[in-house]
Amino acid sequence: NAGVTQTPKFQVLKTGQSMTLQCAQDMNHNSMYWYRQDPGMGLRLIYYSASEGTTDKGEVPNGYNVSRLNKREFSLRLESAAPSQTSVYFCASRNFVLNEQFFGPGTRLTVL
C-alpha cells in the first residue's frame, strides 16, 4: 500500500516551459487535492477534485490546470511556467469516513 505517490520529486524548468506533475493514490479515495507551499508558509490549495469527473478551483488556481484521469490519478499542469510558481507541490487524497487527508512526499519545482 504505497499511499499517495508523486512524480517527479524534483524538477527545474525555464520560464515558459510546460510540465505535468503526476499524482496517484491507491487507497480508493474519492477526493484528491493539489497544494503549493512556498518557503516559510503554510499550504495553499490550488485545485481539488471531490470525485472522479469533477474538479474545482481552490485558493490559487491561476496558471494551473488539472485533470482527474480516473479515481486513482490527479495531475497538475503548468502550461507556461513562471518564476512565481517556484514552490513545493503536494498532492493529497481524503478518507471520507475518517475525514483525514493523506499527503504525498511533494515535488520541488524551480522555475528559472
**61 makes contact with another protein (CB under 8 A):** no
Considering beta carbons, is residue 16 or 105 the nearer one to another protein?
Answer: 105
CA 64 from centroid of its chain's CA atoms: 10
Residue 93 grid coordinates: 487524497
**51 makes contact with another protein (CB under 8 A):** yes
Amino acid letter, 9 = K
Instruction: Locate the DSSP E strands across 14-73.
Output: 19-25, 31-37, 43-49, 56-57, 64-68
Pick from 44, 55, 60, 73: which binds another protein (CB under 8 A)?
Answer: 44
- Looking at residues 82 to 101 of the shown chain, list those that interact with another protein (rule: CB under 8 A): 90, 92, 94, 99-101
- Grouping H, G, I as helix, E, B as strand and the rest as coil, residue 85 is helix
Pick from 28, 56, 83, 84: which binds another protein (CB under 8 A)?
Answer: 56
